[in-house]
Amino acid sequence: MTDSSKVIEILKQIGEQIQMEKDFLTELDNVIGDGDHGINMARGFKEVEKKLADLSGKDIGSILKTVGMSLVSTVGGASGPLYGTAFMRAGVAVGAKTEIDGSDFIAALEAAIGGIEMRGKAHEGEKTMLDALIPALNAIKKSYAENNDFKAALAQGVEAAEKGVEYTKTIIATKGRASYLGERSLGHQDPGATSACLMLKVIDRML
Amino acid sequence: MVGIIIVSHSQKLAEGVAELAKMMAADAPVVPAGGLDDGTFGTSFEKISTAIDSVYTDDGVVILMDMGSAVMTAEMVIENMPERKIRMLDCPLVEGAVVAAVGSSANQSLEEIAESVQDAASEKKL
């Protein structure tokens, strides 16, 4: 499906996309959080980009772990330890492979989600990035098991993630800064779910 | 003496809490780790790690934090130092810091400090 150099390309592209959507993500976070999601993610991925140059030729596990550590060190907000843990766990799941297939990707995404649940003590339905990622994983798994076509499965995953982002508008936040707003968080989409969906879209576009 | 690290999204808040704690226990090793390196809001893995390094002894270190990423980032720092004796304490930041500082300056052990901070956390102001 994909190899180390492609993974690096995808990560670069995710960084560029985050940069482009920085103001939008911050705007979303202004309404229900502390208004720094876009700025924080952009700062984190700028650091990731610097590290990527030295990672060519490395195995995919090492690449993902380095990305995770960079995010933890530079993001500054909750998305730092959350995405940081997610990428590190994904890296551990992939291990020393330099080429991965659909089932490796699924295992990595599953590990990433487990990391976010553990670090954030969070579950689906709390208006977080999990509300995009868990439906995406489920859709990808189901489709991949049925058709053995990863590209098609990923497209299903992106669709499920987009629906998940929409779903976050209909629920009250019970985790993170937005939880202090109670019902006032209703009607607004979650910035974390939005950035998670954005990453899946980039992966889908690049594969 | 047990080191005390104050983690907050705000550099000023962390410094203020450390200052207040030291009013009661001037010699307690209380170190603020608030905000990002450039002073803006956020919690910094590096700042917390450096703060721990600056006061760490075999007596150990306790971390008191505000919310959200302060908790998660502190957790990751501790996971990165598995050989060290470090404990996060769940308490109101100001009260906990004062109690911990007084305990540390009285040469209490990490366990004793954790216990008195826990008691302080359950006390009502009104």
Residues of B in contact with A120 (CB under 8 A): 72
Predicted confidence at residue B121, as pLDDT, reads 86
Catalytic residue among B9, B10, B18, B33: B9
Active site residue B14: no
> Residue range A175-202: average pLDDT?
94
DSSP tag of B35: B
Question: Distance between CA atoms of A91 and B54, rounded to whole angstroms?
Answer: 31
Question: Distance between CA atoms of A189 and B102, rounded to whole angstroms?
Answer: 45
**Is B39 an interface residue toward A (CB < 8 Å)?**
no
% of chain A beyond a pLDDT of 90: 95
Q: How far apart are the first and last CA of chain B?
A: 32
Q: Which residue of A40, A85, A177 is in closest CB contact with B42?
A: A40
Query: Å from A189 to nearest chain B CA?
Result: 19
Query: Å from A25 to nearest chain B CA?
Result: 17
> Residue range A27-55: average pLDDT?
95
Nearest-by-CA chain A residue for B75? A119
**pLDDT surpassing 90 at residue B110:** yes
pLDDT band at A141 (very low <50, low <70, confident <90, very high): very high
Residues of A in contact with B40 (CB under 8 A): 76
- Tell me the ipTM for this assembly: 0.89
Using the beta-carbon criterion (under 8 Å), do A34 and B75 form an inter-chain contact? no
**Residue B7, Cβ neighbours under 10 Å: how many?**
29
